[in-house]
Structure 1
Amino acid sequence: MGRFWDSFTGTRHPDGDAAVSSPAELRAALLALGGPKVPFTVREALPAEKADLVAEWRIQEPAWHTFFARSRLDRQLRISMRLDPEKHEVRSLDEQWEVTWVGHTPQVAASRAYGSGSATTVSKQWTYEKGPDGRRRRVETFGFDSRAMKDPLRTAVLGAGWTWRGAVFRL
C-alpha cells in the first residue's frame, strides 16, 4: 500500500539529495517557526500530550448576526509532532476543536465539535460593499486556512532531510 497510504495520510518524503539534520537542529528549526509574525506558536509538548513538539493556532472568527440571534465560532487547531531520530521522520497528528456560540447573553447555546487525523480546514467570511466604480462587490472580512500553519512545518521537516508522516490514528 506504500505510496497510496502515504497520500491518504499526508505523508511527504524529502528529496533524495537533502542532507539529514540532527534531531536538535530540526527541533530548533521547528521552534523558530513560531513568533510574532505568524499566527501560530510552536512549543515543547507537555508530558501529558505524548508528543515532542506542538504547534497551535487559536482562532476566534468574527461574530455574525441574524434576525434572531448572534453567532460566533471559536476554533483551535493543534498539530502534535513526535520526532523519530532512528527513521528520520516526524509523525504528526492534526486535532481541531470548534465551539459555536449562538444567542445573546445570558441565553447562550453552544455546540462543540472535535476532529483528528490529517486534515485541511478553510474558513472564509465575506461582506458586500460598494466598490470605487459604484457597483456592489464581495469583500473578504475573515480568512483562515490550516495550510498556513502546516506548510511551513512540513517544509522545515523536509528541508532538514526528514520525512513528514501524517497520522490517521493517535500518536
Structure 2
Amino acid sequence: MGRRWDTYTGTQYPDRGVTPQPATHLRAALLALNGTEVPFVVRAARPEEKADLVAEWRIQEPAWQSLFARSRLNRQLRIRMRLIPEKCEVRTLDEQWEVTWVGTTPTFATSRQYSRGPATTVSQRWTYEQGPDGRRRRVETFSFDSRELKDPLRTTVLGAGWTWRGVVFKL
C-alpha cells in the first residue's frame, strides 16, 4: 500500500547492510528483554492468541478521590508479534484494554474500552505540593508511556535486521 500506509501502521525497516539474523536468534533476543528493571513481560504466545510472542504491560493507575466517589483506572497493553522468517519481518498488533472502577472496592466498572491497531498512549497524573521554598509546585505522581514497551521491542527487531510491521486487522 505504500509508504503512507507504513507511516500509519508504524512499519519500520532495518538499516541497509544489516544482515538478518535467524528467527531463533531474534526470538531469544526478544525474550531476553525480560528482567526486574522493566515493567513488562515478553512471553511465548498461547495458541488462542494466534502469535509467536506476546509483550504485556498491566498498569493500575493510582486512585483519585472526588466529592462523590473514588475512581481507579486499570489498563492493559499487549503487543502480539508473529515472526515471518521468509520475509524477515515481525508483524505486530497492539491491543489495549481500559476499565474504570468506582467505589472504595473495585466492584463497579463504570466504563470499559478496547482498542487495537497502532497506538501511542501517554498518561500522567500530577499533584500539587509545597516546595522547599514555600511555593506551590506540580509533582508527577504517575506516568505511563506505551513507547517504553514498544521501543525496546522495535529496537531489538531492527537490530536483528528484520522489519517491524504494524498491522491493524489481523496477524
Output the amino acid matched with 1:19: T
Between the two proteins, the alignment pairs up a number of residues equal to 171
Q: Which runs of 5+ in 1 are unaligned?
A: none
Instruction: Tell me what 2:27 maps to.
Output: 27
d(CA) in 2 for partners of 1:162 and 1:134? Answer: 54
Instruction: Tell me what 2:146 maps to.
Output: 146
Instruction: Tell me what 2:60 maps to.
Output: 60
Correspondence list, 1:1-171, <5 A: 1-105=1-105, 108-171=108-171
Give the CA deviation at 1:106: 8.3
d(CA) in 2 for partners of 1:128 and 1:70? Answer: 19
Output the amino acid matched with 1:101: W
Percent identity over the alignment? 73
- 1:73–1:99 Cα contact (<8 Å) kept: yes
- 2:15–2:161 Cα contact (<8 Å) kept: yes
- 2:101–2:107 Cα contact (<8 Å) kept: no
d(CA) in 2 for partners of 1:106 and 1:160? Answer: 43
Coordinate RMSD, CA, aligned? 1.2
- 1:103–1:109 Cα contact (<8 Å) kept: no
TM-score when normalising by structure 1: 0.97
Q: 1:143–1:106: structure 2 CA closer, same or farther, 3 Å change rule? A: closer
Q: Which runs of 5+ in 2 are unaligned?
A: none
Q: Deviations over 1:89-117 (max 9, x none)?
A: 00000000000001234873431100000
